[in-house]
Structure 1
């Protein structure tokens, strides 16, 4: 799938090296592995089109991760660029503080309310997913303060959850390695077990496992006291924590416990919203949930410009929208809340999704991706293939019978991703996992090509693991 460009190789190499040096010397990347970065630096992605991205040397790759869960409508959509340019030249920015607004923010708010579950009619804009989750927690605490329950502060999250990297969002995140040597606000958060059907206790049925997880929540409520718990936050399907799909009935039973104990439900749809599971929002239509707050980002603008949002229920807004007192204000927000260029991009993104029926495309093609990826389980290292529609994960193991993992130094997820990239496909390695979250415009022919690349990649990795003494 890779190809060389027709530009002069010497000039291209010189330019690439100059950019590589600048990047290595000055850009602190998110989640940098400094054990290799100082020597290897980064591959430079310079161009994109549709389902493809190209590096600065002209090598072309299938984008198997949609940028990072987000480029849902695909790369290079001129319509979105034009909408951003038109808004930027008309009025790029003005404050939304002090009773001021702009047309795209107002239009997008109404559009999101029309797409979301019927009770979520009020939108608080942020700059991304982390800040959306921070805002959700801050508003929840504020809500309970306002109704005379200031002791309700604890947020229940889950191990291996990913909710972001700002201070509060990082604390909500239950992936231990994400917070090594970083401080967190531990007194505010309590963690339940993740819903990991692949690694449930041996001999336990899926139904019994669901009982076990719900029972753990019941016990935690008793231990902490319902009067001290403000909210439970969950991803409908865990993303960076391993694309973990909960057992049937889990979501509605956890919601029922929240309702019984006056615990608000925050559903983090930063990944699952805007088509990845075949709907603009998956909470209600896929999982039967009626959250008090939905947070979203990523696919909201298809990653063309930073934008996040917290969708707030009518019942919460009834309190939030009531003045604290004479001259009282809701004293939180961001300079860029409801940024007009970002909102214009999101409106055009949603227009494209609706016009091209991309949610319907996922409902049709998503099961095909699931089925074809499962054919890779014949490889010695592929222990599990899981997920839903265009949100998939392959878990690599040393022993399929026991689920035992390969040692960290085997770098199995990295090996698979490297082999795939050599064959023209970019996928995401996360430890022993490989995550696939493509643009929503893939079709069956592309899926067949991707699975063929992965098939060859896993074969090569098995041989290299044997050669290096890991198998």
Structure 2
């Protein structure tokens, strides 16, 4: 490392508590200090270049160092660097972006509320739904249905919707009334002798049985990622989402599509809900909304919900919710330019085309003795590593082999995420055929190295 790198790394170790990081291990190893980004690549302070196959955190749609977004931010900073949207105030970027989101989302979604992150957005979903049911005189209708292995954020409320044990342990979560249902992942949770159609039917029965057991009058909303992301990139069985939508309509339960990862073409369609064949009452978007150049998220919801909420704000004299940065003008300006780039460059179409190439390339890795399943859709995929291919036996403990693969990735010049022992990729929407082929090639190299490491360290016979 150069002198600056050493200084930054030392300062990082002594001052920052990192998310999703073992602090004591971090003290020993130190950080990889990322210095700059170039398209689908990032470069650390030693000059090492990495293919960023996770688009940062599932989010940098237009790639790194997109000059148009830099200029959009600078232009808005010069004109109006900040203003709020409290008490009937507004500004042009927030209005224009809201109109654009209504134009781009399913037809029934007509109203927008801004936050700065997906976690805040799902936290707001909870409050909005509770407020809505109170307005309707249904104070008992407050419970949420979510799924095990779901990821919906990390605040106290949105973290309660999340169905990952590591996000609950010793945080005293869940802290709101939520019931987590079976993960809709046939490979890992299908019963012996069960077909995928049988599995889907069982999950839908479980959902209905849960609604009836809890009491439909107590269930406010069902929230789900159309394709589950941080839990391991799980694509639900065919018919699952239309079945869930039918149950929600039958029992007067709001349906929330968490599109924080899925949105803007990631799944090979404009929205994950469109890919999976259902229409939500509330859609949540963030990440690729600004390519994460600025913190921004939005709820887009139905006129039916808005009318009830609006009437209640009139009764109470206001809507007692909002954030300092709700509808931040610079973030909204960047969002508008980001969406313009996505449309002008047909990045959603590119995601569909390159997604087919990515899925086909990774699928070939299923012949590897360490690979249990390759799964995904569009430009989001995961390769699950297993101890025994025939029985689907996972490694014990889960995560050690995946963690080794994660480290090998850095050595080989590619950044992905290991979700337990599943290796996930989610590259920027600007990827080319050459980029996709390189991701597939490097994944093969890393899986070979992970197999050798697993044998050396007693994880394989």
Who is 1:4 aligned against? Answer: none
1:272 aligns with 2:272: no
Measure how far apart 1:13 and its partner are: 2.3
Match of 2:339 among 330, 340, 350: 350
Who is 2:437 aligned against? Answer: 448
3-state SS in 1 of match to 2:23: coil
Who is 2:13 aligned against? Answer: 24
Measure how far apart 1:287 and its partner are: 1.6
- 1: CA distance, partners of 2:149 / 2:329: 35
Measure how far apart 1:279 and its partner are: 3.3
Match of 2:50 among 44, 54, 61: 61
* Residue pairs, 1:379-458, within 5 angstroms: 379-408=368-397, 411-458=400-447
* Residue pairs, 1:106-121, within 5 angstroms: 106-121=95-110
- 2: CA distance, partners of 1:418 / 1:330: 48
Q: Which moved more, 1:331-340 or 1:450-459?
A: 450-459
Structure 1, residues 297-318: CA drift from partner, whole Å, max 9, x if none? 1000001010011111111011
1:38 aligns with 2:27: yes
- 2: CA distance, partners of 1:97 / 1:125: 12
The gaps in structure 1 that reach 5 residues or longer are 1-11
Match of 1:331 among 295, 302, 320: 320
Q: Which moved more, 1:286-295 or 1:122-131?
A: 286-295
CA 1:427–1:91 in structure 2 vs 1: closer, same or farther (change >3 Å)?
same
- Aligned-pair Cα RMSD in Å: 1.3
Measure how far apart 1:323 and its partner are: 4.4
1:210 aligns with 2:200: yes
Who is 2:248 aligned against? Answer: 258
Who is 1:307 aligned against? Answer: 296
CA 1:140–1:13 in structure 2 vs 1: closer, same or farther (change >3 Å)?
same
Who is 2:357 aligned against? Answer: 368
- TM-score (norm. length: structure 2): 0.97
- 1: CA distance, partners of 2:237 / 2:40: 32
- 1: CA distance, partners of 2:295 / 2:383: 29
Structure 1, residues 207-256: CA drift from partner, whole Å, max 9, x if none? 00000000001110111000011001011011011111111000010110
Q: What is the aligned length? A: 459
Measure how far apart 1:89 and its partner are: 1.0
- TM-score (norm. length: structure 1): 0.95
CA 1:302–1:187 in structure 2 vs 1: closer, same or farther (change >3 Å)?
closer
CA 1:409–1:249 in structure 2 vs 1: closer, same or farther (change >3 Å)?
closer
* Residue pairs, 1:6-25, within 5 angstroms: 12-25=1-14
Match of 1:287 among 270, 276, 279: 276
- 2: CA distance, partners of 1:22 / 1:180: 29
3-state SS in 2 of match to 1:47: strand
Who is 1:225 aligned against? Answer: 215
- 1: CA distance, partners of 2:237 / 2:84: 45
- 2: CA distance, partners of 1:185 / 1:403: 30
